[in-house]
């Protein structure tokens, strides 16, 4: 036993200098909630949900004073079941690149600029009431993490920066004249009390079975005082689909989604949050509204607890819920019903 312990110690000592040289850090998030979910019809149950929990490895290496190489490998972890539900490892943002005074170039699989552009207005990310429950729906959904992507991000100029990404997506088709790519870009600003993003994204028809679509998104936040922040969001989506897509389906997936919200800090550690959003479809009787109220308390820099109440009110042609995005507990909704969720959660960032 002593010999085994000595061997382990020697091995660890040999590995430590290599780890230090590589400058690799381990990070992650454990985010779990207990939710009471009611679809307004037949489903009314308590769930335990793991909400975009993850573990990752990242690091960089200085090539010279003006050039660095960097990488990240990130995997979703389901704290509710102990499994990621996938046989692959790097299911989340995973990339390698170079950065310097010219900006940054990266390659891999990661959030598109369009997806990240919701950031300034994202008060309830990965919780019940996440804005994606209305802004990321059906075959016209965006907020994607595309495979096979190359992205360039400019340096910051007076608070502005530009991100441009091109994705081969699932790989170029072997059939002539069939595109299988996606393009995404965003103009971002952050300085003082104001932050905003304006983004555009287009996916070609042959990229997947969902068909051709494009969208424009704008999100902004403004700190009116040290304690009170207002946020706003707008997205318009045009859905063309595939060749045989009907006009009815095109109208259903062609939408405008917008909303307003606010966050008020009761103390440095405790905040009240609220948001209203609506989805307006070109199809008749296919709209939806969402209201969210929440309180969040930070126990310290790494750990926070919260409680949210969210409702989605559907027209007869919609069956959306306030819990369908970024979570492991995702029972379906009921058409024309009012779906509600009460959630109490714990998030630990490490």
- Cα four-point dihedral sign 81, 85, 91, 93: negative
Residue 1 pLDDT more than 60?
no
Say which range, 54-58, 174-178, 262-266, 283-287, has the weakest mean pLDDT: 174-178
Comparison of pLDDT for 11 and 316, the residue scoring more: 316
Tens-place pLDDT, residues 285-318: 999 999 999 999 999 999 999 999 999 999 999 9
Residue 20 pLDDT more than 70?
no
Mean pLDDT taken over the chain: 91
Report the pLDDT value the prediction gives residue 247, as an integer from 0 to 100. 96
Residue 8 lies in a domain: no
At 216, the pLDDT band (50, 70, 90 cuts) reads very high
Residue 28 pLDDT more than 50?
yes
Report the pLDDT value the prediction gives residue 171, as an integer from 0 to 100. 59
User: How many domains does the structure of the chain reveal?
Assistant: 1
Residue 124 lies in a domain: yes
Report the pLDDT value the prediction gives residue 350, as an integer from 0 to 100. 96
Residue 3 pLDDT more than 50?
no
**Direct distance between the N- and C-terminal alpha carbons of the chain, in angstroms, rounded to an integer:** 34
Tally of CB atoms within 10 A around 162: 16
Residue 6 lies in a domain: no
What pTM was computed for the model? 0.89
Mean pLDDT of all residues in 56-79: 96
Mean pLDDT of all residues in 110-135: 97
Report the pLDDT value the prediction gives residue 90, as an integer from 0 to 100. 76
Backbone angles phi, psi at 117, to 5 degrees: -70, -15
The residue length of the chain stands at 350
Residue 58 pLDDT more than 90?
yes
Residue 246 lies in a domain: yes
Report the pLDDT value the prediction gives residue 12, as an integer from 0 to 100. 43
Contact (Cβ atoms closer than 8 angstroms) between residue 229 and residue 237: no
Residue 297 lies in a domain: yes
Residue 19 lies in a domain: no
In CATH, what number is assigned to the domain containing residue 42? 2.40.160.10
Residue 193 pLDDT more than 50?
yes
Report the pLDDT value the prediction gives residue 174, as an integer from 0 to 100. 52
Report the pLDDT value the prediction gives residue 8, as an integer from 0 to 100. 38
Residue 218 corresponds to which tokens in the numbers above?
Answer: 């704008």
Mean pLDDT of all residues in 44-51: 97
At 281, the pLDDT band (50, 70, 90 cuts) reads very high
Report the pLDDT value the prediction gives residue 4, as an integer from 0 to 100. 42
Residue 336 pLDDT more than 50?
yes
Mean pLDDT of all residues in 158-168: 96
Mean pLDDT of all residues in 217-241: 97
At 89, the pLDDT band (50, 70, 90 cuts) reads confident
At 97, the pLDDT band (50, 70, 90 cuts) reads very high
Residue 6 pLDDT more than 60?
no
Residue 117 lies in a domain: yes
Residue 7 lies in a domain: no
Report the pLDDT value the prediction gives residue 84, as an integer from 0 to 100. 58
Query: Which residue from 29, 22, 69, 27 is spatially nearest to 51, judged by alpha carbons?
Result: 29
Range of the domain at 178: 26-349
Percent of the chain past pLDDT 70, that is, above it, reads 88
Say which range, 77-81, 127-131, 216-220, 315-319, has the weakest mean pLDDT: 77-81
- C-alpha distances out from residue 23 to 13, 20, 94, 98, 104, Å: 16, 5, 17, 15, 19
How far from chain centre, in Å, is Cα 187?
18
Mean pLDDT of all residues in 78-103: 84
Contact (Cβ atoms closer than 8 angstroms) between residue 240 and residue 258: no
Residue 149 pLDDT more than 90?
yes
Residue 257 corresponds to which tokens in the numbers above?
Answer: 């989604």
């Amino acid at each position: 036993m002593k010999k085994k312990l000595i061997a382990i110690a020697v091995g660890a000592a040999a590995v430590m200098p290599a780890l230090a040289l590589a400058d690799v850090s381990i990070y992650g998030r454990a985010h779990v909630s207990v939710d009471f979910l009611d679809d307004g019809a037949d489903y009314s149950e308590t769930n335990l949900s793991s909400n975009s929990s993850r573990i990752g490895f990242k690091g960089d290496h200085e090539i010279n004073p003006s050039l660095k190489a960097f990488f990240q490998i990130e995997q979703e972890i389901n704290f509710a079941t102990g499994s990621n539900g996938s046989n692959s490892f790097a299911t989340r943002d995973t990339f390698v690149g170079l950065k310097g005074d010219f900006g940054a170039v990266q390659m891999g699989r990661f959030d598109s600029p369009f997806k990240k552009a919701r950031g300034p207005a994202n008060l309830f990310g990965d919780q019940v009431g996440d804005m994606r429950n209305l802004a990321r729906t059906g075959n016209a959904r965006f907020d994607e993490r595309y495979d096979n992507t190359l992205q360039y991000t400019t340096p910051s100029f007076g608070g502005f920066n530009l991100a441009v990404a091109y994705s081969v997506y699932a790989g170029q088709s072997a059939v002539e004249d069939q595109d299988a790519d996606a393009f995404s870009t965003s103009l971002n600003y952050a300085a003082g009390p104001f932050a905003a993003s304006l983004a555009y994204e287009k996916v070609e028809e042959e990229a997947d079975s969902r068909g051709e679509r494009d969208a424009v998104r704008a999100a902004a936040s403004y700190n009116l005082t040290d304690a009170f922040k207002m946020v706003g969001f707008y997205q318009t989506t045009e859905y063309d689909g595939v060749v045989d897509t009907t006009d009815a389906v095109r109208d259903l997936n062609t939408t405008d989604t917008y909303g307003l919200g606010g966050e008020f800090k009761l103390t440095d550690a405790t905040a009240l949050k609220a948001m209203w959003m609506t989805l307006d479809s070109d199809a008749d009787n296919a709209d939806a509204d969402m209201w969210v109220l929440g309180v969040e308390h930070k126990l310290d820099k790494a750990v926070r607890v919260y409680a949210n109440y969210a409702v989605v009110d559907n027209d007869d042609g919609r069956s959306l819920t306030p819990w369908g995005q970024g979570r492991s507990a995702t029972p379906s909704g009921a058409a024309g019903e009012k779906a509600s969720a009460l959630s109490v959660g714990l998030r630990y960032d490490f």
